[in-house]
Amino acid sequence: MKKVKLIFTGGTISMRIDPETGAAVPALSGQEIVAGVPELSPIAQYEIIDFAKLPGPHMTPRLMLELSRLVKESLADPSIAGAVITHGTDTLEETAYFLDLILDSDKPVALVGAMKTSDLPSWDGPANLIAGVRTVISEQARGLGVVVTLSETINAASEVTKTHTEANDTFQSLDFGPLGIVDRDRVIIFRRPARRQHIETDQVDFNVDLLKMASGMDDRLIRYCVDSGAHGLVIDGLGRGNVPIDALPGVEYAISKNLPVVVVSRCPRGRVLDTYGYPGGGKHLRKLGVIYGGFLSGQKARIKLMLALGATRDVARIKEIFEAGMY
C-alpha cells in the first residue's frame, strides 16, 4: 500500500460555525479531519502534518515558500508516493501555481479543499480528501505537476481558477478543460497539461503589485506602486491586453524605471496579444517593452513574477520566462 503525506493548512475544510459569531472559522486539526474520513485507511497509508490552520485569505506568498520547502522535503522521502494539501479555496489556485512552478518532482501533488463547513450535512471535505489521495497514488498522475482535485475533477494548477463563490464545482479550467476525473476508485486522465514550467529558484521577491484596469482609469495607482518600492507590476488589462489611454503614462513610467511590467487580461478566457495599434493598445504596449502573460490570470501572473524576480532581475530573462513557447 502506498504512503502519502497529508499536509493541512486550514480552509473551509477545517471550519465550523462559531456559536458566538454565527460565522465559519478554522477549528479542526488534520487528525480531527481524518478521523471523520475512515474510508482513507483502505486506500493508502498516510502521515499527517499540521502546517497551519488558516482561512484562505490569510495565506501569503511567504507562507507558500515555507510550504514549498516542506513539500519538497516530503517528496524527497523515497517511501512517499505523493502529497495532498488541504487549503482554503479563496487562494488555493495561487498556492497551487506557486508550488507547480517551484517544485521539480514527478511525484504527484494535489491541493484539495471544501466549499461547505464540517458541521453541515453537505460537507464536501471528505469526498475531496479521498479524491485527492486517489489522485496522488495513481501512476497516471505522475509528471502532471501540481493539480487541484475537487468535485472528483482533476485540473492543472497552471490552468485552473475559482469560478463561483459557493458552488462545489467552482474550480474549472476555462480555456483547456480538466486533466481528468476521479470515478469512484479509479483515476482517469484525459490529457496532460498544455504547458508545464519550472522556475529554478529558492528565493521569492514579494514586492510585486497587481492592478486591474477599468474604464477611465489613470496612472496614479501605477505611479504609486513604482514610487513605493514595487519591483514588478502585473496589469490586469482590458480585452486582448490593453489599457486606458490615461493609464498609459504610468506604464511608460514603470518601464523607464526598469521594472518588469506583465500584462494579462481581466477576461476569464483567452490569451493576450498585440492585436490593437492605438495608444494603450497591445501593439503600442509591446513596443514600450511590456511582457505578455499568455493565458494567465492576474493573480497567477503575480505569483509567477515573484518567482521570476527571485531567480533574476534581468528583464529580458523574465520576458523569456513568461513568453517562451507562447509568442
pLDDT digits (tens, 9 = 90+) for 74-93: 999 999 999 999 999 999 99
Domain assignment of residue 195, yes or no: no
Domain assignment of residue 111, yes or no: yes
CB distance 93 to 148 below 8 Å: yes
Kindly state whether residues 245 and 168 are assigned to the same domain. Answer: no
CATH of the domain at 132: 3.40.50.1170
Share of residues in the chain with pLDDT > 90 (%): 98
Instruction: State the angle between helix axes of 298-311 and 61-75 in degrees (0 to 180), rounded to the nearest 10.
Output: 70
pLDDT digits (tens, 9 = 90+) for 265-286: 999 999 999 999 999 999 999 9
In the block, residue with C-alpha cell 479524491? 131
Domain assignment of residue 9, yes or no: yes
CB distance 76 to 32 below 8 Å: no
Domain boundary among 127, 160, 189: 189
Kindly state whether residues 141 and 233 are assigned to the same domain. Answer: no
Does residue 327 register a pLDDT over 90?
yes
Domain assignment of residue 202, yes or no: no
pLDDT at 131: 98
Q: Convert the chain into a string of H (helix), E (strand) and C (coil).
A: CCEEEEEEEECHHHEEECCCCCCEEECCCHHHHHHCCHHHCCCCEEEEEEEEEECHHHCCHHHHHHHHHHHHHHHCCCCEEEEEEECCCCCHHHHHHHHHHHCCCCCCEEEECCCCCCCCCCCCHHHHHHHHHHHHCCHHHCCCCEEEEECCEEEECCCCEECCCCCCCCEECCCCCCCEEEECCEEEECCCCCCCCCCCCCCCCCCEEEEECCCCCCCHHHHHHHHCCCCEEEEEEECCCECCHHHHHHHHHHHHCCCCEEEEECCCCCCCCCCCCCCCCHHHHHHHCCEECCCCCHHHHHHHHHHHHHHCCCHHHHHHHHHCCCC
When divided into structural domains, the chain yields a total of: 2
Average pLDDT over residues 140-147: 97
Q: Which residues pair with 17 in a beta bridge?
A: 24
Provide the annotated active-site residues.
12
pLDDT digits (tens, 9 = 90+) for 39-84: 999 999 999 999 999 999 999 999 999 999 999 999 999 999 999 9
Kindly state whether residues 147 and 212 are assigned to the same domain. Answer: no
Whose CA is closest to 106, among 66, 146, 155? 146
Kindly state whether residues 142 and 38 are assigned to the same domain. Answer: yes
In the block, residue with C-alpha cell 515558500? 65
Average pLDDT over residues 107-135: 96
Average pLDDT over residues 100-104: 97
Whose CA is closest to 74, among 100, 98, 39, 109? 109
Kindly state whether residues 314 and 237 are assigned to the same domain. Answer: yes
- 163: its cell numbers: 469560478
pLDDT digits (tens, 9 = 90+) for 144-203: 999 999 999 999 999 999 999 999 999 999 999 999 999 999 999 999 997 899 999 999
Domain assignment of residue 173, yes or no: yes
Whose CA is closest to 171, among 37, 11, 46? 11
Write the single-letter amino acid at 121.
Answer: P
Average pLDDT over residues 195-215: 96
- 73: its cell numbers: 522535503
Domain assignment of residue 199, yes or no: no
Does residue 95 register a pLDDT over 90?
yes
pLDDT at 54: 97
pLDDT at 195: 82
Domain assignment of residue 120, yes or no: yes
Domain assignment of residue 16, yes or no: yes
Write the single-letter amino acid at 65.
Answer: L
Residue 184's domain comprises 3-189
Domain boundary among 142, 159, 189: 189
Kindly state whether residues 24 and 153 are assigned to the same domain. Answer: yes
Kindly state whether residues 16 and 100 are assigned to the same domain. Answer: yes
Cα first-last separation, the chain: 45
Whose CA is closest to 155, among 194, 101, 197, 104? 194
Kindly state whether residues 272 and 138 are assigned to the same domain. Answer: no
Kindly state whether residues 43 and 103 are assigned to the same domain. Answer: yes
